[in-house]
Structure 1
Amino acid sequence: MKIRTIGRRKFQLGAVAVAVSLLATGCGASAGSSGDKEVTLRFAWWGNEYLNAQTEKVISAFEAEHPNIKIESEPGEWASYWDKLATKTAANDAPDVIQMDQKYIAEYGGRGALLDLSKQSGVDTSKMDKEQLASGQYDGAQYGLSTGKNAYVIMANTKVFEAANVPVPDDTTWTWDDFIGTAAKLSAAGGGKSYGAAYGSNEADLIIWLRQHGENLYSQDGKVDFDTATTASFWERLKEQRDSKASPPATVATEDSGAGLEESLFGTNRVGMAWWWTNQLGSLETTTGSSIKMLRAPSIDGTSADNGMYFKPTMFWSASSRSKNPEAAATFINYLANSPAAGAILMTDRGVPANSEIVDSITPALKPADTTVVGFLKDVATEITDAPPVPPVGAGSVQNVIKRFTDEVLYDRLSPQAAAENFKKEVEGMLATARK
Structure 2
Amino acid sequence: MSLGSRKKMWTVAFLTAAVMTTASACGGGSGGDGGGSGDKVKIVFSYWGSDARQKLTEQALKKFEEKNPTIDVEGDFSNWDSYYEKLATKVAANDAPDVMSIEIRGLSEYAGRGALADLAGKVPSADLDQQVLSSGQVEGKQYAVPTGVNAFSMLANPSVLEKSKQKLPDDKTWTWDQWINLAKQISAGGGGAMGAEYNPNPAWLQIFAAQRGEKFYDGNKIGLSVDTIKAWWNISQQLIAAKAAPEPAKSAELLTAGPEQSLLATNAGAMGMWWSNQLNALSKASGQELELLRMPREKGAPSAGMFLQPAMYYTASAKSEHSAEAAKLIDFLVNDPDAASILLSDRGLPTNSKVLAAVKDKLPPVDQRTLAFIDEIKGELSPITAPPKGALQMEDILKRNTDEVLFGKTTPDAGAQKFLSEANAAIAG
**TM-score normalised over the length of structure 2:** 0.91
Aligned partner of 1:10 in structure 2 is 5
Aligned partner of 1:402 in structure 2 is 398
Tell me whether 1:216 sits opposite 2:215 in the alignment: yes
Aligned partner of 1:273 in structure 2 is 271
Aligned partner of 1:242 in structure 2 is 240
Aligned partner of 1:67 in structure 2 is 69
**Rounded Cα–Cα distance in structure 2 between residues aligned with 1:113 and 1:91:** 11
**Rounded Cα–Cα distance in structure 1 between residues aligned with 2:75 and 2:13:** 25
Aligned partner of 2:92 in structure 1 is 90
Give the Å deviation of 1:346.
Answer: 1.4
Aligned partner of 1:78 in structure 2 is 80
Residues 5 and 426, structure 2, Cα contact 8 Å, conserved in 1: no
Q: CA distance change for structure 1 residues 224 and 299 in 2, over 3 Å: closer, same or farther?
A: same
Residues 127 and 357, structure 1, Cα contact 8 Å, conserved in 2: yes
Structure 1 window deviating more from structure 2 (366-375 vs 122-131): it is 122-131
Give the Å deviation of 1:15.
Answer: 5.1
Matching residue's letter, 1:9: G
C-alpha distance after superposition, 1:106-128 (max 9, x if no partner): 0111111111111xx44101111
Tell me whether 1:390 sits opposite 2:374 in the alignment: no
Give the Å deviation of 1:278.
Answer: 0.7
Equivalent residues in 2 for 1:415-434, closer than 5 Å? 415-432=411-428, 434=429
Aligned partner of 1:135 in structure 2 is 135
**Rounded Cα–Cα distance in structure 1 between residues aligned with 2:165 and 2:285:** 22
Residues 132 and 313, structure 1, Cα contact 8 Å, conserved in 2: yes
* Aligned with 2:318 (options 305, 315, 321): 321
**Rounded Cα–Cα distance in structure 2 between residues aligned with 1:56 and 1:427:** 37
**TM-score normalised over the length of structure 1:** 0.90
Give the Å deviation of 1:144.
Answer: 1.0
Give the Å deviation of 1:266.
Answer: 2.1
Equivalent residues in 2 for 1:7-406, closer than 5 Å? 8-11=3-6, 13-14=9-10, 18=14, 37-118=39-120, 121-190=121-190, 193-219=192-218, 221-301=219-299, 306-384=303-381, 386-406=382-402
Matching residue's letter, 1:408: E
Q: CA distance change for structure 1 residues 261 and 190 in 2, over 3 Å: closer, same or farther?
A: farther
C-alpha distance after superposition, 1:296-353 (max 9, x if no partner): 00001277x7221100100111111121111110111111111121121111111111
Residues 13 and 107, structure 1, Cα contact 8 Å, conserved in 2: no
Residues 242 and 248, structure 1, Cα contact 8 Å, conserved in 2: yes
- Say which SS state the counterpart of residue 225 (structure 1) adopts: coil
Give the Å deviation of 1:201.
Answer: 2.2
Aligned partner of 2:22 in structure 1 is none
- Say which SS state the counterpart of residue 107 (structure 1) adopts: helix
> How much identity, in percent, do the aligned residues show?
37
- Say which SS state the counterpart of residue 399 (structure 2) adopts: helix
**Rounded Cα–Cα distance in structure 2 between residues aligned with 1:128 and 1:200:** 31
C-alpha distance after superposition, 1:376-411 (max 9, x if no partner): 001001212x22432101221111111111111111
User: Pairwise CA RMSD of aligned residues?
Assistant: 2.4
C-alpha distance after superposition, 1:161-182 (max 9, x if no partner): 1211111111011011110000
Residues 16 and 113, structure 1, Cα contact 8 Å, conserved in 2: no
**Rounded Cα–Cα distance in structure 2 between residues aligned with 1:378 and 1:325:** 38
Q: CA distance change for structure 1 residues 366 and 313 in 2, over 3 Å: closer, same or farther?
A: same
**Rounded Cα–Cα distance in structure 1 between residues aligned with 2:336 and 2:370:** 21
The gaps in structure 2 that reach 5 residues or longer are: 19-25
The gaps in structure 1 that reach 5 residues or longer are: 1-6
Residues 155 and 273, structure 1, Cα contact 8 Å, conserved in 2: yes
Residues 148 and 352, structure 1, Cα contact 8 Å, conserved in 2: yes
Q: CA distance change for structure 1 residues 125 and 291 in 2, over 3 Å: closer, same or farther?
A: same
Misfit runs of 4+, over 3 Å: 15-19, 27-30
Matching residue's letter, 1:60: K
